[in-house]
Structure 1
Amino acid sequence: MTRPLSDEQPSGNQGRKVAARNRAALIAAAREIYAEHGLDAPLSAIARRAGVGQGVLYRHFPDRAAIGTAVLEENVRQIEKVAAADASDIVRILGVLTWHVTESTAFLGILHAHGASSRSGALAYAAALSKRVEQAVRARMPGGHRLAGHPDDLMIAIAMVSGAATGPTREHREHRARRAWRLLGVEVGPVRPYEE
Structure 2
Amino acid sequence: MTSPANRTRSDAVRNRDLLVSAAREVLAEQGLDAPMSAVAKRAGVGQGTLYRHFPDRATLATAVLEENVRDIEQVAARPDATLADVLGVVTWQMIRSTAFVGIIRLSSEESSRQLADRVRTTIDGLPKDTHDTDEVMLAVAMVSGAVHGPTPEAREATARRAWGMLGIEIGPVTPGV
**Fold in common (TM above 0.5):** yes
Cα distance between partner residues in 2 of 1:13 and 1:138: 40
Worse-matched range after superposition: 61-70 or 17-26:
17-26
Cα distance between partner residues in 1 of 2:83 and 2:16: 30
Cα distance between partner residues in 1 of 2:155 and 2:115: 22
Cα distance between partner residues in 1 of 2:120 and 2:139: 11
Could you say which residue in structure 2 is the equivalent of 1:58? 51
Cα distance between partner residues in 2 of 1:71 and 1:77: 10
**Is the Cα contact below 8 Å between 2:61 and 2:103 reproduced in 1?**
no
Could you say which residue in structure 1 is the equivalent of 2:84? 91
Cα distance between partner residues in 2 of 1:131 and 1:152: 11
* Secondary structure, counterpart of 2:170 in structure 1: coil
Shift of residue 161 of structure 1? Answer: 1.0
Cα distance between partner residues in 1 of 2:148 and 2:75: 24
| Deviation sequence 1:1-23 (CA, Å, 0-9, x none) | xxxxxxxxx98943323322221
**Is the Cα contact below 8 Å between 1:34 and 1:105 reproduced in 2?**
yes
| Residue segments in structure 1 that go unaligned for 5+ positions in a row | 1-9
Cα distance between partner residues in 1 of 2:96 and 2:170: 16
Cα distance between partner residues in 2 of 1:112 and 1:65: 13
| Residue segments in structure 2 that go unaligned for 5+ positions in a row | none
**Is the Cα contact below 8 Å between 1:78 and 1:194 reproduced in 2?**
yes
- How many matched pairs? 175
Shift of residue 42 of structure 1? Answer: 0.6
Cα distance between partner residues in 1 of 2:82 and 2:134: 20
Q: Compare relative contact order (CA 8 Å, sep 6+) and give the higher one, 1 or 2.
A: 2
| Percent of aligned positions that are identical | 53
Could you say which residue in structure 1 is the equivalent of 2:9? 16
Letter in 2 for 1:64: R
Could you say which residue in structure 1 is the equivalent of 2:117? 131
> Structure 2 matches for 1:113-192, cutoff 5 A?
122=109, 124-143=110-129, 145=130, 147-148=131-132, 152-192=134-174
Moved over 4 A (4+): 10-13
| Deviation sequence 1:151-191 (CA, Å, 0-9, x none) | 53111100111111112222221221111111111111111
**Is the Cα contact below 8 Å between 2:62 and 2:112 reproduced in 1?**
no
Q: 1:168 to 1:11 in 2, by over 3 A?
A: farther
Residue 32 (structure 1) aligned to one of 9, 25, 28: 25
RMSD, aligned α-carbons: 2.2
* TM-score normalised over the length of structure 2: 0.87
